[in-house]
Amino acid sequence: MSSRRASVSSTISTTTGIGISYFDSPGELPLLSRIPAPGAYGAFGSETVSEKGDKKRVFHSESLLSMATPTIIQNTKKAMVSKRHRRRPKLIQILGCCSSMVLSAIVAVAVTILLYVLAAVLWPRDALGTMEWSVFAVHNDDGKDFDAVVVPGFELAADGGIQGELESRLEAALALYRQGRIRGQVILTGGNPAASDKTTEAEAMGSWLSSRGVPQATLVLENQSKDAVGKARFTTPILVDASYKRVALVTSTVNQYRFFWLFHGQCQSAAFCQASFRVISISSYETGISVARKQLDFFREVVSLLVAVIQGSVVLW
């Protein structure tokens, strides 16, 4: 017994004041586990010999409180795992990220289909495509004048013509101009070329407004963006250069929520951007859009919104 007790040594940490007891084998653990003290740790060790012949003592520590009940402790050599084996391979991390995104997209599509099935049963048929169109509407227009107006583009027809969704935006922007609520410029953003020619969305919108009396000097064309995020990114420097503060955002009702957060987020992350966005209601100009088209746009918006949330450019709360 005396030799057994002699193999146990104790020390007190000078930095933490925690009592630490060292002993030569796991067999010594029960001696201390019967009298656990708060903050006390027990450790057993084994000697290993390196290739150079140097002896090295390796300790395995365990809280005495957790050892108050019988515990099976692995051999020190087996318990020590190289950090290299603990790290996840980069390929596994990438595959995990991709699988999460794919799974999220599948869930979004499934939820959308479920909503349509329920809508078909519970709602009148002529209400489909109209009620969900306003789910993402934003109402924060205070009726005051604006320093500038931003009109995001929409895909053009195969012949370069303007489709109903984009025309409704332009009609709302034109109404603001005729009401005298625009003190500065009308910023038209969208660089995707049409299928048949090289006319961009911004150029098509500029031609539409100028043919209805809006001066060319008032129009600013942003032709570089290829998607919604790009529209917000390339419009922000224009707002910063002109020091615009009150900015009207004119876009379709179904994507007002996403566009508001995209433009707001880009402005918040840009230096010296002072723009505060107000979304203009254009529902009265969207009467010419078919129900089938509204249903398609709603489905596309759900997917686009999900992608924006995953990318961190849009929040849902």
Q: Are 265 and 231 in contact (CB under 8 A)?
A: no
Name beta bridge partners: 277: 247
> Where does the pLDDT of residue 39 fall: very low under 50, low under 70, confident under 90, or very high at 90 and above?
very low
Name the pLDDT band for 170 (thresholds 50, 70, 90).
Answer: very high
Q: pLDDT grade, residue 297 (50/70/90)?
A: confident
Query: What pTM was computed for the model?
Result: 0.62
Asked whether the predicted pLDDT for residue 305 surpasses 50, the reply is yes
How many angstroms separate the CA atoms of 197 and 72, rounded?
Answer: 75
Q: For residues 43 and 11, give the distance between their C-alpha atoms in angstroms, rounded to a whole number.
A: 11
**Model pLDDT, residue 287:** 84
Q: Is the pLDDT assigned to residue 311 strictly greater than 70?
A: yes
Band (pLDDT 50/70/90 cuts) for residue 121 is low
Please work out, in degrees rounded to the nearest 5, the angle formed at the alpha carbon of residue 237 by the alpha carbons of 279 and 136: 25
- Using the predicted structure, report yes or no on whether residue 315 has a pLDDT greater than 70: no
Give 235's contacts (C-beta < 8 A, 6+ positions apart): 150, 187, 189, 222, 225, 263, 266
d(CA 202, CA 223): 6
Rounded mean pLDDT of the chain?
74
Residue 38 has pLDDT above 80, yes or no: no
Q: Is the pLDDT of residue 86 over 70?
A: no
State the pLDDT at residue 259.
94
- Burial (0-12, 13-18, 19+ Cβ within 10 Å), 107: exposed
Predicted confidence (pLDDT) at residue 200 exceeds the cutoff of 90: yes
pLDDT at 112: 65
- Residue 63: pLDDT over 60: no
* pLDDT top residue among 192 and 6: 192
Does position 23 have pLDDT exceeding 60, yes or no?
Answer: no
Helix (H) or strand (E) holding 30: helix 29-33
Question: How much of the chain exceeds pLDDT 70, in percent?
Answer: 62
The long-range contacts involving 72-75, CB below 8 angstroms and separated by at least 24 positions, are 73/26, 73/29, 73/44
- Mean pLDDT for the stretch of residues 120-147: 70
